[in-house]
Amino acid sequence: MWPRLVANKILRKSVGSNNFVADFPPDADEQLLEAPGLVDERPSFDSKSIFVNQHKTTNLNYKVLVSTWNVGGVVPEDGFDMEDLLETHKTPCDIYVLGFQEVVPLRASNVLGSDNNKVSAKWNSLIRETLNKSVATSDDRDNRINGVSQDFKCIISKQMVGILITVWVRGDLRPYIRDPSVSCVGCGVMGCLGNKGSVSVRFRLHETSFCFVCSHLASGGRDRDGRQRNSDVIEILSRSTFPRGTYLEDLPKKYLTTSTRVIFLGDLNYRISLPEEKTRLLVERKEWKTLLENDQLSMEIMNGQIFRGWQEGNVTFAPTYKYIPNSDLYYGCIAYKKDEKKRAPAWCDRIIWYGNGLKQHEYTRGEVKISDHRPVKAIFTTEVKVLRYSNKIRDLFFSERFEDRIDGYDQIDSKDYSWIST
C-alpha cells in the first residue's frame, strides 16, 4: 500500500492535472492553446427559479463518430492519411471523438517524465487538416449556418503519458458546448502511474451531458491479468470525478448516470479464453460467434459484474490484435524468436456505451497497418435536449444572433438518417 501512497503524493500533479488543450476563444487564432477550461459564452445566473415555467424543450439528433487506436508508439509522418479513421467523405458527422493509446513508447522516461505534447499536437494537426479539408471542399453556402463557419473546432484534447483523447465539433455547435472538463486516473506502476489507466472528458451540449472515457487497461493473457483489468475498470469508474458545472443546474460528479451519454473506448486488452492453437484456427476460419462466446469482455458485459448496464454493438470484424506491423499477418504466423512471448489474436480494442439516448449504426475496424493494432470505430446518433426560452426570457438575456442560431437548428439538424444501415 505505501508505494502507491508515496507515488500518488509525488506524482499527483502530473497524473491528476485537469488542464487540457482546446481551440479557445472560438473567434481567436486557431492555434491550440493550453488552458484550465473554456469560457462559457452564455450568461450566468444566481438563481434557477427564474427559469421555472419560462421555457419548453425539444430534441435534436446529432451524429457522433468514436474511434480508438493503439498506435504502438509510432509517430505519424507529415501528411499521414487520417481518412480511414475519420470517414469524412463516407459518413460526415457532427462530433468526432478520437482516442489513442501508446502515442509515445511506454518506457520509464515517458512514464515518469512530463508528457510529450509535441506528439499529441502532431495528431491534432492531422485531425484538423482532414476534418476541415472535407469542409473546405463543400459548397460555401453549405459551409455556413446563419453566417457561422462549420469548420471543426477542438473543444478538448488531453494526454496522460501514452493515452490521448481529442474531441472535435462543428464550429456552429461550439457556442452550445458548456462545462468541458477532464479526469485522469493512473492504474499503472504502483497502481497509480499513467502507463495504464484512463483519461475521461465530459462536456454538455445544449442540455445533455456527454462523457468519453479513453482507457488502456492491463495487458496479458493469464488469469491474474484478467482480474487486473477488472480491477482497473473498478478504479476508473470509482476515481473519475468532475466539477459540478456552472450553468443553471449542477452536473453529477460521477458520470454513470442515466442523464449522461457515456462511451468507454480504448485498448481494453480483454482476451479470448481459449487455447492459442484453437483461437488461431477459429480466427483463420472466421468463426467469430464461437470466439465471441469465449471473449472476456463479452462475458463481463453479459455477467454484469463489472460492466453492469453497459452495451456493445455486434462485433462482425476480425480481431484487432496482434499484427506484425505493416502487414496483414497476425503475430505468431511466422517462426518465433527464442524466448519471444506468444500472443494469440484478440479483440483488445473496443467501444462500449452506457445510458439512454445513444443508437449505434456502425461498428467496424480500420485497416491502417503501421501499428500492431487495428483501429476500431463506431458511429452513433444521439438525442440532445434543447431549451427554447419564452419571449420574456429570450428578450431579457439573449441576443437576436442567439435566437437565429437556435431557430436555424430546425433546418440543419432535421436530417434523414435512414441511409445508415442498422
Please tell me the distance from the alpha carbon of residue 321 to that of residue 262, in angstroms, as a whole number.
25
pTM: 0.81
Q: Which three cell numbers stand for residue 51?
A: 427559469
Give the pLDDT mean for 100-114: 80
Q: Which residue has the higher pLDDT, 311 or 6?
A: 311
Give residue-wise pLDDT tens across range 40-96. Answer: 344 444 444 444 455 678 899 999 999 999 999 999 999 999 999 999 989 899 999
pLDDT in tens, 295-318: 999 999 999 888 988 999 999 999
Confidence band, pLDDT 50/70/90 cuts, at residue 243: confident
- Higher-pLDDT residue of 9, 388: 388
Query: Cα(38)–Cα(24) distance, rounded to whole angstroms?
Result: 7
Please, are residues 197 and 147 in contact by the beta-carbon 8 Å criterion? no
Lowest mean pLDDT: which of 203-207, 243-247, 370-374?
243-247
Residue 403 sits at φ, ψ, to 5 deg, of: -65, -40
Separation in Å, CA 296 to CA 229, 268, 279: 10, 10, 13
Q: How many CB atoms lie within 10 A of CB 48?
A: 10
Comparing C-alpha atoms, which of 204, 68, 82, 77 is closest to residue 132?
82
pLDDT at residue 268 above 50?
Answer: yes
**109-133 per-position pLDDT tens digit:** 667 766 678 999 999 999 999 999 8
Domain chopping of the chain, boundaries:
57-131+150-392
How does pLDDT run across 312-362, given as a tens digit for each residue? Answer: 999 999 999 999 999 999 987 765 555 556 689 999 999 999 988 999 999
- 254 has a pLDDT exceeding 70: no
89/377: higher pLDDT: 377
Which pLDDT score, from 0 to 100, does residue 415 have?
Answer: 45
Q: Which CATH number fits domain 57-131+150-392: 1.10.645.10, 3.20.20.70, 3.60.10.10, 3.40.50.300?
A: 3.60.10.10
What letter would DSSP give residue 113?
A: S
Report how far residue 284's alpha carbon sits from residue 288's, in angstroms, rounded to the nearest whole number. 10
Least Cα distance to 268 among 351, 353, 163, 367 occurs for 351
Average pLDDT over the chain reads 80
Question: Residue 13 has what pLDDT?
Answer: 42
Highest mean pLDDT among 105-119, 241-255, 392-406: 105-119
Task: Assess whether pLDDT exceeds 70 at residue 409.
Answer: no
What does DSSP say about strands 177-186 and 358-365: parallel, antiparallel, or unpaired? unpaired
Strand, coil or helix: 130 = helix
